[in-house]
Structure formats: structure tokens, C-alpha cells
Amino acid sequence: MASPTPERLILAAERLCAERGIDQVSLRQIAEAAGQRNPAVVQYHFGSKVDLLRAVVHYRIKPYNDRRLELLAALDAEGRADDMRGLVDASIRPLAELGSSDSHYVGFVAQLTFQGLIQDVFAGVADELLGSARILQPRLAEVMRDVPLPLREMRQAAAFSTALFAIARYHDQRAKGAPDPVALELFVDDLVGCVTGFLSAPAPAATAGPQRHTQ
């Protein structure tokens, strides 16, 4: 970035929000953590807290999007464009792999999800940085077409929120020096299997009939 101050504010916001929760962090605390004495510095550079949260996403999201696109291209090349496990792996693996860096991005996104801010924050993210999501979402909808729409949406939200928190916890424990319970690749493979099983479960019998809505 042109100035180091916005970058320090972004990194401070990411870390504090991941550690404490979005609502528990004030703009003053973010400014202080970034080494700034003036609490108005966040408004000066970003405008609002939501705009700062969006700046964190813009700062971090490109490698995650690129990795997902790479995994999706590999699925296409293997003729597995509609393979449920492959799609789940493409969704989860980048967060697990890249979350092992020194960033707090996975924990940050987990907090956005927990506090119901994920849609508001990501609504302001450039389309080109969300390209992988725009490919994944319709493909997952297609492979889950036998599950009625309301249930499908609830399943996906529950499954991927759980995966996100599991990844955040895994890397948090490693960052704190806790012994690795399992190697990263085994962790990812097991998590992908669990999420795939959850999403693939047959719809309840009670959803059969005219009331089913699967568009």
C-alpha cells in the first residue's frame, strides 16, 4: 500500500477482531494497536468500521481466491466438475493451507460469520476477488439439487461455518505452540470428508411431495 499507516491499521484490525470478536474491538483500540495516537485515524483512512473490515478482506482474499480457482481447474481437467468431495475440498483447503501463515484472516472471517456480518462485509468486495465463489455456489447447488432449497441453504451455512471455526481453532492451537493433534493434510482430508458427508445426507422423508422446493 502507498502508506504504511493503512496497512498497520488493517493488520491490527484483523488480529484484534480474530482474537476478541468484532463487537469487542473499538476503533480506538485498533488505532492504538497500530501505533497511532489519534483515534480518528481509522475514519480518516477508511471511513467506518465496516469499511475497515472490507479492507481486511481486500488485503487478504486474492491468494485464497486464486488457490480455489486452481483447485476448480484441476477438477475440470479430471472430469470431476460435479464431484461433491472435490467441490468441498476446493472450498475448504485454501483456508486450511493459507491459514497456516502468520495472518489472522481465518479467525477474522470466523468472527464475521459468528456475528452475522459476513454478507455485509463481502458485499463490498470486488467481483474479481470472488470469482471462485461464483463458480462453487452453483455447482454445489446442482450436486445438492435433491435437497430442498431451505434445507440446502441451512446445511451449507452450518457445514462451512463449522469448517471455518475448526480451521481457525486448528491454526490458533498451532500458533500457541500446542502439539499438533494431526498433520495438516490429515486434518484437511478428515474435515473435507465430514463436510461432504453432512452435505450429502439424504433429505428427510418429510420434505418429499409437493412442498419440496429445489430450485
What pLDDT, on a 0 to 100 scale, did the predictor assign at position 82? 94
Of residues 102 and 21, more confidently modeled: 21
Residues 140, 156 contacting (CB under 8 angstroms): yes
Q: What is the pLDDT of residues 73-103, one digit of tens each?
A: 999 999 999 999 999 999 999 999 987 666 7
Confidence of residue 179 (pLDDT cuts 50, 70, 90): confident
Cα–Cα distance measured from residue 94 to residue 197, given in angstroms and rounded to the nearest whole number = 20
CA torsion through residues 143, 146, 151, 155, sign? negative
What pLDDT, on a 0 to 100 scale, did the predictor assign at position 214? 46
Q: Which residues touch 73 (CB under 8 Å, ≥6 apart)?
A: none
Q: Which residues touch 96 (CB under 8 Å, ≥6 apart)?
A: 167, 170, 184, 187, 188, 191
Residue 111 pLDDT exceeds 80: yes
68-82: burial string, b at 16+ Cβ within 10 Å, e else: bbebbeebeeeeebe
- In this prediction, residues 186-214 reach a mean pLDDT of 81
Per the confidence metrics, is the pTM higher than 0.75?
Answer: yes
Residues 143, 51 contacting (CB under 8 angstroms): no
Q: In this structure, which amino acid lies at residue 66?
A: D
- Which three cell numbers mark 157? 451455512
Name the percent of the chain lying above pLDDT 90.
Answer: 72
Neighbours of 105 (CB within 10 A): 23
> Which of 16, 23, 198, 12 has its CA nearest to residue 114?
23
- Ranges 25-29, 121-125, 201-205, most confident: 25-29
Cα–Cα distance measured from residue 60 to residue 50, given in angstroms and rounded to the nearest whole number = 16
What pLDDT, on a 0 to 100 scale, did the predictor assign at position 182? 85
Confidence of residue 62 (pLDDT cuts 50, 70, 90): very high
Residue 211 pLDDT exceeds 80: no
Q: What is the pLDDT of residues 139-160, one digit of tens each?
A: 999 999 999 999 999 999 999 9
- In this prediction, residues 38-46 reach a mean pLDDT of 92
